[in-house]
Structure formats: structure tokens, C-alpha cells
Amino acid sequence: MAGRDLRALFSTNDRGLEATEAFTNRQAQWELVAAALGEHLRHTAEPGFDVEDLEHPRHNVMTFHGVGGIGKTTLSRKLEAALTGADQRPAQWGEPAWPKGRILPVRIDLARSSGTSFEDLVLTIRAALAGLGRPLPAFDIALRRYWETQHPGESLEEYMRRGVRLLHAGRKRRRCRWRMSSRR
């Protein structure tokens, strides 16, 4: 096909033509994410780090913004996949510098989630955290108290049973399959 013009390309019936997806020119963004994640992991591993210290500022949220069509969603999907498993990381990105261990990326694309409520976002995060495989009673108690205050008389379980779809939590759409702790 080399050397042909676009008119010839679009008027051909050549069945040998194939489309391939190329993901390029995102090395700088990967390096930024890898550096930020490495710094966050080092910070949380320090002896003086206290997860309950709510006064200390947090710097562990990354946002991509810009005009539509520049690849923000594709980049965030690639980052999510690369952080989920090394086999999904583009070869040009190389091995990250942080110690090997399990990282649980949660990608929430607010541009794609029109009409998403705060509750749906929190439930999406909770569903993703269920992948850790350990109980989170403090999260569940706080969520239950919030729900009871904001939605008196409405059962959270019923809200979820009515088929409310959660946002993307990982690559697959999931229904929430965790039980909230009823301890107070």
C-alpha cells in the first residue's frame, strides 16, 4: 500500500489490508506515573507514616485533562492494564523501579459517567477494594452511616439490588459482591 493515495486506499477491495492499533508517544506520561507511584509507595512505607493522619496533605491522585480526542481515556486504560499486570505493559515502558507487589489500580473516567452520583463513585471504589480479599470494616461502617444519614429509610442493599450499575472498576463491569459490616 506504500505510495498509494487515500482515494486509492479507500476504493480498494484488497482483503489483505489490516488495521492495527498503535500506542505510541506516551513514554513521558508513563515515567510521570511510575515516578509518582514510586514516591507514594516510598512515603507510605516510611516508619513515621500514619494512615489515620488526616491533617497531612495527600498527593496520590493523578488527573489527565485536555480537549477531547487526544487519548486521555486510552492512556488511562493502558496505565490501568500496565499496573494490573506486567504482561499488559507496553515493552517500551520497561520495568518500574518500585518493589514488586500487588497494586490495585482503580480507574474512574468521569467524562464517560454522566449522571454518576457520589454514591456510585464510592460504591465503585468499594467494589474495587473487594479485590484485596480482606475485610474493610471502617470503610463499611463509614459508608453505612453516610447512607443512613443521606438516604433515611432507603436500604443500601436494595439500592444495589435494583440493578444500579457501578462504574468501571478494573477492565470488567462488576456488580458489587461484598457484604457491608453491620457492626457499629
* Residue 79 forms part of a structural domain: yes
Is there a single domain that holds both residue 98 and residue 115?
A: no
Is there a single domain that holds both residue 81 and residue 150?
A: no
pLDDT band per the 50, 70, 90 thresholds, residue 165: very low
Is there a single domain that holds both residue 114 and residue 96?
A: no
What residues make up the domain containing 166? 106-184
Is there a single domain that holds both residue 78 and residue 140?
A: no
- Which residue, 104, 131, 157, sits at the end of a domain? 104
- Report the alpha-carbon distance of residue 184 to residue 27 in Å, rounded: 47
* Residue 9 forms part of a structural domain: no
With b for 16 or more beta-carbon neighbours within 10 A and e for fewer, the 125-138 pattern comes to bbbbbbeeeeebee
* Residue 12 forms part of a structural domain: no
Is there a single domain that holds both residue 113 and residue 169?
A: yes
* Residue 43 forms part of a structural domain: yes
Per residue in 35-44, pLDDT tens?
888 888 888 8
* Residue 3 forms part of a structural domain: no
Is there a single domain that holds both residue 83 and residue 28?
A: yes
Average pLDDT over residues 126-151: 88
3-state secondary structure of 53: coil
Is there a single domain that holds both residue 84 and residue 97?
A: yes
Give the pTM. 0.62
Is there a single domain that holds both residue 125 and residue 63?
A: no
* Residue 184 forms part of a structural domain: yes
Sequence-separated contacts (24+) of 65-71 with Cβ below 8 Å: 71/26
Average pLDDT over residues 15-34: 78
Is there a single domain that holds both residue 88 and residue 77?
A: yes
Is there a single domain that holds both residue 146 and residue 111?
A: yes
User: With 70 as the cut, is the pLDDT of residue 175 above it?
Assistant: no
Which cell is 173 given? 463491569
pLDDT at res. 147: 92
Is there a single domain that holds both residue 97 and residue 119?
A: no
- Which residue, 84, 104, 124, sits at the end of a domain? 104
| Axis crossing angle, helix 72-84 with helix 27-45, rounded to the nearest 10 | 50
Q: How many domains does the chain have?
A: 2
Is there a single domain that holds both residue 117 and residue 81?
A: no
